[in-house]
Structure 1
Amino acid sequence: MTASSDFRPRSAWSMTILLTGLALINFLDKVVIGVVAVPMTKDLGLSHAQFGLVAGSFFWLFSISTVLVGLVSNRVQTRWLLLAMGVAWAVLQIPQALTTSVLALLLCRVLLGAAEGPFMPTTVHALYKWFPDRKRNLPVAIVSQGAGLGLLMAGLVIPLITARHGWRMNFVLLGAIGVVWSVLWLFLGREGNLDTQARPRATAKLATKRKPLRKTLADPSVLCVLLLGFAAYWSLSQLFTWLPTYLEKGLGYPNVQAGRWFALVIITATPINIGLSWLSQFLLERGVSTRVARVKLLAAALIASGAIYVTPLFVELTHLQKVLLLAIGAGLPTVCFAIGPALLAEVVPDDQRGAALAMYTAIGSLGGALSPALMGALVQRGGSLATACEQGFATCAALVVVAALLALRWLNPERSREVLATPLAAPDARTTAL
């Protein structure tokens, strides 16, 4: 029986919907600190540099916990790992609502980051147990849009809650939402059974002894995917951490209106991500090589994003034009969150997939940790906050373009799949004949 014959669409999409809900919570948890940045920094007396440090601290243990849970995910069912995450996130919201010092807030963000770090690789690993290879782009893209929906809700709802009840109430509500999802997942969450990818028949007959994980991670294609993830996380982290401040203090929009523009930027990413992911899957299902359908499509999106990011530094634009351009430029790299994991799953052996996906998120999260702090340093230097933020956003341009060009040169899924599937010591044909 093949993996595709075990495919159960109804159950697979039910799990996708539930995990999309968890992604929504995950990104609300991440972005809330950026949306409440202005009243929170005033209340706690934070400088721009301190705020950048606190925002980036979310990712300090992100990578470590991601790798550790990724290694565990090949032995423990993802169903239980995801439940543990949902409960931990809910519990950790309350200390953030009660904190009165910079140190306490920083500690809360570090612990929450450690709890949320394994979310994406564990979720993707769980989905890949429900969907065969050529159907994986779209469900992962949809889950990623749970993140987009979370960011959209943050822009529309959090400013209103803050205006009426104060910034702390947002953390209380996030804790309650996390509890509701955890209860639903406890009763409805299930484990998929498509643990074996559909490999070419020739490689399926090879000996099962694989190369060690360190050699898999050193493969040029795998390294390129890791760099693409780093660039995408860098872009996303800058966006949800500093965009509200850029809109409010840099461009001068009132708080609620800034929240609406923030929502517009976020919602623009949804059709971009879903559309490009669908196009990639459409091409794959019609026999186009993954080198074209995934690698070249992703590289083109990142190069276009880089060009857009640097435009405000060289062209005089109105505030509205800057927001609209930023919406497109920030939306294009998000397709990496759907296509990047699919490329990894296509290349690495099944028994190393969980660890490889964890490493993808761990490396990417380093970009998430560095970019808010760099932006904070640029803003702290003084001068125009809008110009400083635009310079910070432009760092994404160099990063995503370099990542795209390296991928065009070195990322070859078909070649790497064959190399990584080859056993370390193939038996000698004459010995086999004897």
Structure 2
Amino acid sequence: MTTGRAPTSLLFVLVCAMGVGPLLNYGLSAASPLILHDLGMSQSQLGLLAGAVFASAAVGSMWLGQLSDRATSRQQFLLIFGGTVLALVVAALAQNFWVLLVAVVLAGPAQSISNPTTNRLVVTAVPQAQRSGWIGIKQSGVQASQLFAGLFIPAVSLWLGWHGAFALAALVALGLLWYALQKLPSEQARPRTTARAKSAADGLPLPVWLFAAFAFLSGLGTQATNVYLPLFAVRSLGFPLVLAGVAAGVSGVVGVTSRVIWGRQMSLGRRPSAMLLALAAGAVVGVLCLLSAGVFRQPALLWAGVALHGATVLGANVITNAAVLVVVPPERVGIASGVLAMGMYAGFALGPFVMGLLADATGGYEAGWITVGSGYVLCVGVALWLRRYGATHPWKAVRGR
């Protein structure tokens, strides 16, 4: 049993493991006006790139979730960071859409295993009193990556071009891998479970599947917004490239803070269903702000929408991951996290693709924002289902003690 307090260096490693995988996605979004111009790509092709990386992540998430229950953390970190470095290098060499497509497919597995790997480390290496708070902080690594990419990629692109920006990002990821390998606790590979049922997802409790449904619906809107926000700001509101990147970065800053706050709320024993309900309602308001910003050409509404986006749906992953650690036994954390990741990445894959198709078909973003808002309304329904389930089949509250 884990005692004492886990070192903050391990927390930093967990944050980096969550943030490094999506670095390519956010970089493509932040530099999208340059990339579309240089390669002659359409908006729907940009959506296809985002969809492909998350489809790749979704396809492998179940198997990789099971792998995380067996392989050592060092082996998994090599996959997370090494896969990201490879994907960034391929992107840096890309001279057409198809090479970028290869790069994003390579980035998928690195992202799909990050949640199971880091969740497993939290369970095995972090005292129970710290776990919920650490979940919130380590999940904020994704938004820290969004902030980094939103500021770093456009700025370096103006200096070295977007190819050079991705090459430099690969060097950053390689440095983080070296640091992580120095700080990971030593462990042995875990043996395969002997019972076939233990490796199957069909024995997981209903809340896991409801959390996965929420992750799918919220993920659809999350990545549609993340991918197209800079392009929307440039084309609909006339923002310069760097300011559009700042808008994405602001969303990341708010997202980092919100994930820490949601994690602390979980550690206080708040009901996951109640928090997801409030989160979904706020997300609906946020997407209405973005829709109105484009219709009325009001930049202030865009900033309001960006803030609400960061404060709401970017925190969903914290709540669902922290709750999953409670509703399944420790030996099934990997597969349960894999199911959750599968739902999330399926939504991530579909959202940008649909947004791009609608933008090309209509010449604007209104239909896309309406679709995103509809997904958030369905999230409200799933949260209400979770709330009703919890009233009749209560599970232990997620507490930090």
TM-score by shorter chain over 0.5: yes
Give the Cα separation in 2 of the matches to 1:147 and 1:367. 16
Partner of 1:86: 81
Partner of 1:331: 311
Give the Cα separation in 2 of the matches to 1:134 and 1:192. 22
Give the Cα separation in 2 of the matches to 1:32 and 1:358. 25
Give the Cα separation in 1 of the matches to 2:236 and 2:258. 26
Shift of 1:40: 0.7
Partner of 1:49: 44
Shift of 1:16: 1.2
Shift of 1:309: 2.0
Partner of 1:301: 279
Report which stretch shifted further, 404-413 or 249-258: 404-413
2:288–2:305 CA contact under 8 A, matched in 1 = no
2:146–2:252 CA contact under 8 A, matched in 1 = yes
User: Matched residue of 1:253: which SS?
Assistant: coil
Partner of 2:184: 189
Partner of 2:218: 232
Give the Cα separation in 1 of the matches to 2:197 and 2:387. 27
Residue 337 (structure 2) pairs with residue 357 (structure 1):
yes
Q: Give 1:12-411 correspondences, 5 Å limit.
A: 13-133=8-128, 135-191=130-186, 213-217=200-204, 219-281=205-267, 283-284=268-269, 292-311=270-289, 313=291, 318-383=298-363, 385-411=364-390
Note closer, same or farther for the CA distance 1:40–1:359 as it changes in structure 2 (3 Å cut).
same
Give the Cα separation in 2 of the matches to 1:94 and 1:317. 38
Note closer, same or farther for the CA distance 1:86–1:214 as it changes in structure 2 (3 Å cut).
closer
Partner of 1:425: none
2:199–2:335 CA contact under 8 A, matched in 1 = no
Note closer, same or farther for the CA distance 1:335–1:7 as it changes in structure 2 (3 Å cut).
farther
Shift of 1:239: 2.5
Partner of 2:5: 9
Shift of 1:192: 7.6
Give the Cα separation in 2 of the matches to 1:412 and 1:216. 21
Residue segments in structure 2 that go unaligned for 5+ positions in a row: 397-401
Equivalent AA in structure 2 for residue 391 of structure 1 = I
* Offset from partner CA, 1:8-27 (integer Å, 9 cap, x none): 3143x321111212333223
Shift of 1:139: 0.7
Note closer, same or farther for the CA distance 1:413–1:150 as it changes in structure 2 (3 Å cut).
farther
Give the Cα separation in 2 of the matches to 1:258 and 1:83. 33
1:64–1:362 CA contact under 8 A, matched in 2 = yes
Give the Cα separation in 1 of the matches to 2:196 and 2:55. 35
Note closer, same or farther for the CA distance 1:166–1:412 as it changes in structure 2 (3 Å cut).
farther
Equivalent AA in structure 1 for residue 3 of structure 2 = F
Note closer, same or farther for the CA distance 1:339–1:134 as it changes in structure 2 (3 Å cut).
farther
Identical pairs, percent: 21
1:137–1:280 CA contact under 8 A, matched in 2 = yes
Superposition CA RMSD, Å: 2.7
Give the Cα separation in 2 of the matches to 1:177 and 1:313. 36
Shift of 1:68: 1.4
1:224–1:410 CA contact under 8 A, matched in 2 = no
**Computing the radius of gyration over CA atoms, which structure comes out larger, 1 or 2?**
1
* Offset from partner CA, 1:134-189 (integer Å, 9 cap, x none): 53221111112222121112222211111121111121012111211121222221
| TM-score (norm. length: structure 2) | 0.89
User: Matched residue of 1:168: which SS?
Assistant: helix
Note closer, same or farther for the CA distance 1:78–1:105 as it changes in structure 2 (3 Å cut).
same
1:305–1:330 CA contact under 8 A, matched in 2 = no
Equivalent AA in structure 1 for residue 117 of structure 2 = T
2:140–2:257 CA contact under 8 A, matched in 1 = no
Give the Cα separation in 2 of the matches to 1:105 and 1:271. 32
Note closer, same or farther for the CA distance 1:256–1:209 as it changes in structure 2 (3 Å cut).
closer
2:93–2:163 CA contact under 8 A, matched in 1 = yes
Shift of 1:317: 7.4
* Offset from partner CA, 1:253-277 (integer Å, 9 cap, x none): 1111212222222212222221222
Give the Cα separation in 1 of the matches to 2:196 and 2:391. 23
Give the Cα separation in 1 of the matches to 2:346 and 2:74. 26
User: Matched residue of 1:9: which SS?
Assistant: coil
Note closer, same or farther for the CA distance 1:94–1:341 as it changes in structure 2 (3 Å cut).
same
1:264–1:327 CA contact under 8 A, matched in 2 = yes
Report which stretch shifted further, 94-103 or 408-417: 408-417
Equivalent AA in structure 2 for residue 9 of structure 1 = R
Give the Cα separation in 2 of the matches to 1:412 and 1:334. 26
Give the Cα separation in 2 of the matches to 1:402 and 1:115. 31
Shift of 1:248: 1.0
User: Matched residue of 1:75: which SS?
Assistant: coil
Equivalent AA in structure 2 for residue 300 of structure 1 = A
Note closer, same or farther for the CA distance 1:269–1:84 as it changes in structure 2 (3 Å cut).
closer
Partner of 1:430: none
Shift of 1:416: 5.5
